[in-house]
Chain A
């Protein structure tokens, strides 16, 4: 009965979304505040409807109601509670429902939090959000309903893919989807502004909080996914340029470009067309991501829950939605004002360069992901595009971006002073060169590329600090005055500094880990040992472990360094009852920012006794790979908390002070 209530609730949500679109659009045409308020009410009701259906689905998973097809296919009575709850979004149907929950949630939030927007713009935004909600809810209800009943319910469920049975499943998809779908508000604002025919500084200021929130959530979501792959796959790697990873990375790159171009539009009224284009592209790439992951059009290590027929439907949704957005852009954008002028050396030029490089990097990821499909469709020849391609295209583009980055914030708007900026950056440059040379000379084995990466990271971190020093006039005014300035720095400035620092931290981790990681693999008998990264690993024992829904062999490996005990690594090799699949549980031993990563492989029985394949990796600075993105996301959140960005402030400030000073 509850399950039918869930389906009904979902149908109601679809009806409310349609109503939301119609009421709000009519409100714009008739300029009726009553209809607009009704449209906003419908947005909230649609969200409540999806939330009801979602709660019902989670309940069905928790109580193992195998009369629901989705629960029977993806759950099991012996599965721990956490994975029962998280299993609700572990399948195609469930994850699309999560998408709808986020979409209607953002729709309701956008309706409730946009009181300060001009009425017409706001009504059109709510209407667009309603159309998006209706499209995805219709897809869910008619092609992918997770609440469909089985005529003949099984006694036991088929359980969830063991690779997915991990605490990360509880947090990675919600963050990722909250990030993806957050771009829908940005998309709706862009569509609304194009219809209204006005894209100005105020519009850019309204877009920024949504873009910041979505980008920050997406950053955390991608980082969590990367960390998950790092410890779950047991290959010691953290980014595989897998199509599914690329699918989440493209909207991130576009959103990063949008955040920067929106600053130009907000402060200088320039690049309005390009900013709108990016706003539409960000959500188009989010939908492309959903399509790539959920259609199974690309084979990948994430290829669970594939379904080509639904893939076609998703492709149609993607084509229609993105096509409509871009067509509207092509039709209305030429009328937008080009905005203020700027000199070749200026903050505007720096931000445009940032956008050019991010766009080129996005093109590299997009082509690398889709080209095999396109070429095979056109010529029938199959090719592979793997990590070597991205290392040759994406990495140099990002290196160029990182080289230019510290200069940008130090240049003035309109006309910057290249000499002045370089004078303020010489300390950072000296630091970078020293760090690079030091890393090259002192760390063995010698790695020129990794040392260059260390220099880049030092340049970024030094540049971010130099920028803060410049703002507080450190060493040029008395210390007390600098402190006063530091305390008065706007949150937006701190947010930018944090985000750039986080990128520096990530770059440091990426190059050091890739360049200097060490790896060993040996078959060890009990009492056998192997050395890696200066650590001594001795296999002391193997125990059989019974988990809730698996059997496992757990190794006890004593890790010592120069005779002193360091940690006890206990990697497992699990065999799941349902399906008989084996997975490895990596043991991670944290040594400062470095990881000792131990994997237990298969057991081999020989005449002389059993031996176990043990693989161990020494991953220096690996923590930074995940800490850096967290700092970047924190930067986004701090920036979001800036008083000047709060929704509603923009309009009031604009009225009071039309000639705003650049920050």
Chain B
């Protein structure tokens, strides 16, 4: 089991990539994989909408070093994110926090879906159901449909 877990971690490194420079990489593949997962969620502050995983900018390099250092020191993902937010503000995270200030952001798609569902439900309820076809009528409709296709 342990070997499999290690292989999975190794595979994860290969899959998620070593996009960044091999010179920056952490020696432990498991830690490096965690660092890379965090990179994808951290914004390169001076770049135009790039994560520090993609960016070649100097600041992205520095942030990667910070994150790698923290991963190496054994801090958890959430601790590292809190650390980054304390230093750089919420702007640094590509996934906005689930907070009251962001309620409109997270809930709007759901509200649109709920509103649509409510309208559909209202429309379906407010109408009297139409009369069922009797067997003879249904058979005639089927012949029409077969012909029309």
A384 touches B40 (CB 8 A): no
Give the Cβ gap from B117 to chain A, nearest Cβ, in Å.
6
Across the interface, A519 reaches (CB within 8 A) one of B8, B18, B91, B148, namely B18
* A contact residues around B41 at 8 Å (CB): 386, 388
Q: Which of chain A's residues have a CB closer than 8 A to the CB of B123?
A: 338
Q: B residues 22-47 with Cβ under 8 Å of A?
A: 22-23, 40-41, 43
Measured between C-beta atoms, what is the minimum distance from A519 to chain B in Å? Answer: 3
Does B1 count as interface, using CB distance less than 8 angstroms?
no
Q: How many residues of A contact B (CB 8 A)?
A: 67
> Cα distance A342–B120 when bound, in Å?
11
Q: When chains A and B are docked, how far (Å) is the Cα of A384 from the Cα of B40?
A: 13
Contact A361 B109 (CB under 8 A): yes
Min distance, Cβ A586 to any Cβ of chain B, angstroms: 13
Q: Is A116 engaged at the interface, CB distance under 8 Å to the other chain? A: no
Beta-carbon nearest neighbor of A397 in chain B: B109
Q: How far is the CA of A349 from the CA of B16 in the complex (A)?
A: 41
A303 x B120 contact (CB < 8 A): no
| A/B pair count, beta carbons within 8 Å | 154
- What's the Cα separation between A479 and B53 when bound, in Å? 56
Q: Do B112 and A382 have beta carbons less than 8 Å apart?
A: no
- Per-position contact with B for A367-382: 1 when CB-CB < 8 Å, else 0? 1100100010001011
**Which residues of the other chain, B, contact A359 by a CB distance below 8 angstroms?**
112-113, 116
Q: Distance in Å from the Cβ of B11 to the closest Cβ of chain A?
A: 4
CA distance A375 to B105 in the complex (A): 10
CB distance from A194 to the nearest CB of B (A): 20
Report yes or no: A363 in contact with B109, Cβ–Cβ below 8 A. yes
Please give, as numbers and ranges, the residues of chain A lying within 8 Å of B149 by CB-CB distance: 471, 485, 488-489
Cβ of A491 to closest chain B Cβ, rounded Å: 14
| Minimal Cβ-Cβ distance residue in A for B132 | A415
Stretch from A92-100, A426-434, A520-528 forming part of the interface with B = A520-528
Q: Which chain B residues in 95-146 approach chain A with CB under 8 Å?
A: 95-96, 101-102, 104-106, 108-113, 116-117, 120, 123-124, 127, 129-130, 144-145
Q: Is the CB of B90 within 8 A of A520?
A: no
Q: Tell me whether A521 and B48 are in contact in the complex, defined as CB-CB below 8 angstroms, given that A367-B105, A367-B109, A382-B89 are known contacts.
A: no
Q: Which residues of B contact A235 (CB under 8 A)?
A: 19, 54
A8 to chain B, nearest CB (A): 39
Chain A residue at smallest Cβ distance from B133: A415
Check A299–B48 contact: CB distance below 8 A.
yes
From A13-21, A46-54, A236-244, A552-560, give the one contacting chain B. A236-244
A442-485 contacts to B, CB under 8 A, are: 444-446, 471, 485
State in angstroms the CA–CA spacing of A385 and B90 once bound together.
10
Given A301-B49, A384-B91, A397-B109, the answer on whether A414 and B101 have CB atoms closer than 8 Å is no
- Within 8 Å of chain B (Cβ to Cβ): is A344? yes
Chain B residues with Cβ below 8 Å from A371 are 96, 102, 104-105
Q: Is the CB of B109 within 8 A of A521?
A: no
6 example contacts (A-B, Cβ-Cβ < 8 A) are as follows A359-B112, A381-B90, A383-B102, A386-B43, A445-B15, A489-B149
